[in-house]
Structure 1
């Protein structure tokens, strides 16, 4: 079911790119098919990544996450020196055919690496798994703050806090963590002008420029229940990021409320299906890892749709597998592939050993004894 829902998102990505991208490409003087052709390649690679990663064993997922974390951390640090600056932020590394945002890949790899660190300390009494997890998170915090990328930092922080809670963190410390996040948000509001501007524009409709949000909300109103029809929308001619951050508005105008609700339901299917499967798991590595992965996936979808509908302050974050973007599509494919690899049913004589031994779960040792 999760794999089928992922296929639906990829198909929606193709359809909405056909609807939104030609107008954006023409406006910047490029070929009308430029974004479409690129996204076809990106989504094809994403589909291959989902299938390849989902077939890995638990050990393979762990090794991929550890190696990916090291590479993504190094690449994120590299953006501060040789990164491409866009709108005052250095988050991308320029490659011949595309720009890569390393922090996108850091999100799923860090979630699985954290799960391994937290699970391993269950059997090795003096293994500093929790301390190491906080240390890596501190490095990520400093790197993303320096770019700056407060939105990505907020998502990774929420993923990390969710994993600590699922792993058994007492409610007192959970409340302390929430309070610390509130304090960090206030500091970001004070220190970063772009954060302050977005919050003030969200809270005060008469302050600042509301052109993009107002245009997106009008698009939803124009679409109504069934939409104006494919190709009949106007928001793609008005918004510079109609194919990326505001692709949900294009869907609302051309295909209507029912299709938008269908998109929301597809994301809910992936999130809820994963959580329901985890209720039948007893391997802490699988539970904590998949919980972090699906939390990051769901939060990214919520941030994009919520900001487009003016439910939260605007944040430039893509809609998973639907918005234009190579880094986003491939990192989301990596996330879904890891979720499938962690939660898929395993058969055969070595299934029990593969399932418990890599995480170092004490339950495996008790059953073996």
Structure 2
């Protein structure tokens, strides 16, 4: 009896713990907790926290830049606004991550249709800033449709390409090309060369993952080279950016200031709030926040941040090695590629390895549209990488379909 009582004590403790979010808890929250990739979720939270610190560091420089005349911007204005977007974005991320795969797919298709219409409406009703017309004024703020369209476009494109698994005769590749071309045309009209590059890269990545033939791959490579040459010759925005980057022609103040700020802090930085070079950056809180991190927290912090982004990419692709559903593989890989490409472009611009493109750093840069769209996109990624822990147990355990 004593042995039985000793063995029963841990069982009672386990039962009490299971009443919270234990494995026996079959509530939506309990199942979500055990099925979600908690490492991915933790990495996202770390990036968001780092982003808040970085925006707080960049906010005084941005406030100083936009203050003038009768306009006075508080030093931490951008930090408090970013914190408000984070408070809205994290619940949105968790809510989307709780969706089963079929519901996440439907949300993405509806979102892609809605924000495509919004993107087409930008030239008609959009607000213009710094010579670009990319935003729609909503009264309480501005909405950038292209930011929200990216994750929904990726999932919708993944669904379209996965249909070929059911019918080999479906013209999914030409149709996906036409849809991507329409979106890129709308983006170039704004103009938004950086987002155009991202959408083209996402389409190419998903085409490769869906089993592109070598001949078609060679044709796409040649078409890409021709497209870049044509953009350089006939698209003034591309001409200006490429000339500034390759031949140091025109105004290179932005990238030069970003590079000078990045290296000003050395390996360990000048300390929080101690940066001075950041006050010369044109968009310290958005496009060039990576340089602000370099000045105040050092190159070591920049390397650590790059490793965080790399860890997310590696984590997802390792998890996809044992995934046998084509749509899930394409959707999760596409969302991860979007995340990685956007981070790579922003970092490359800051270290003067790419021309300026106006690309935000995921979860780090200031911006309501960017934060909300990234939270929803990461929520979709978490939804597609969920795993039922009971599926790897004994075949005698009752299994259920979470999709």
TM-score for both structures, normalised by structure 2: 0.84
Q: How far is 1:322 from its partner?
A: 0.6
> Does residue 379 of structure 2 align to residue 337 of structure 1?
yes
- Match for residue 51 of structure 1 among 94, 98, 111: 94
TM-score for both structures, normalised by structure 1: 0.91
Q: 1:350 to 1:67 in 2, by over 3 A?
A: farther
What is the SS of the residue equivalent to 2:133? strand
Q: Which residue of 2 aligns with 1:111?
A: 154
Q: Retained in 2: the 8 A contact 1:245–1:304?
A: yes
Q: Retained in 2: the 8 A contact 1:103–1:152?
A: yes
Q: Which residue of 2 aligns with 1:37?
A: 80
Partners of 1:93 and 1:134 lie apart in 2 by 27
- Match for residue 26 of structure 1 among 55, 61, 64: 64
Partners of 2:376 and 2:301 lie apart in 1 by 26
1:185-228 alpha-carbon deviations (Å, 9 max, x no partner): 111111222221211111123x2222222222222222111101
Q: Which residue of 1 aligns with 2:291?
A: 249
Partners of 1:213 and 1:88 lie apart in 2 by 18
- Match for residue 259 of structure 1 among 280, 297, 301: 301
1:212-262 alpha-carbon deviations (Å, 9 max, x no partner): 222222222221111011111012211120111000010000000111011
Q: How far is 1:140 from its partner?
A: 1.1
> Does residue 17 of structure 2 align to residue 14 of structure 1?
no
Q: Retained in 1: the 8 A contact 2:64–2:279?
A: no
1:25-44 alpha-carbon deviations (Å, 9 max, x no partner): 13322222321111011122
- Match for residue 3 of structure 1 among 41, 44, 64: 41
1:277-327 alpha-carbon deviations (Å, 9 max, x no partner): 111111100111111111111000000010010011111000011111111
Q: Which residue of 2 aligns with 1:158?
A: 201
Partners of 1:195 and 1:113 lie apart in 2 by 28
**Mean Cα deviation higher: 243-252 or 171-180:** 171-180
Q: How far is 1:347 from its partner?
A: 4.8
Larger Cα-atom Rg: 2
> Does residue 116 of structure 2 align to residue 73 of structure 1?
yes
- Match for residue 142 of structure 2 among 79, 95, 99: 99
Partners of 1:317 and 1:25 lie apart in 2 by 20
Q: Which residue of 1 aligns with 2:127?
A: 84
Q: Which residue of 1 aligns with 2:265?
A: 223
What is the SS of the residue equivalent to 1:85? strand
**Mean Cα deviation higher: 84-93 or 66-75:** 84-93
Q: Which residue of 1 aligns with 2:236?
A: 193
**Mean Cα deviation higher: 341-350 or 169-178:** 341-350
Partners of 1:95 and 1:31 lie apart in 2 by 23
Q: Retained in 2: the 8 A contact 1:235–1:249?
A: no
Partners of 1:44 and 1:257 lie apart in 2 by 29
Q: Retained in 1: the 8 A contact 2:360–2:370?
A: yes
> Does residue 271 of structure 2 align to residue 233 of structure 1?
no
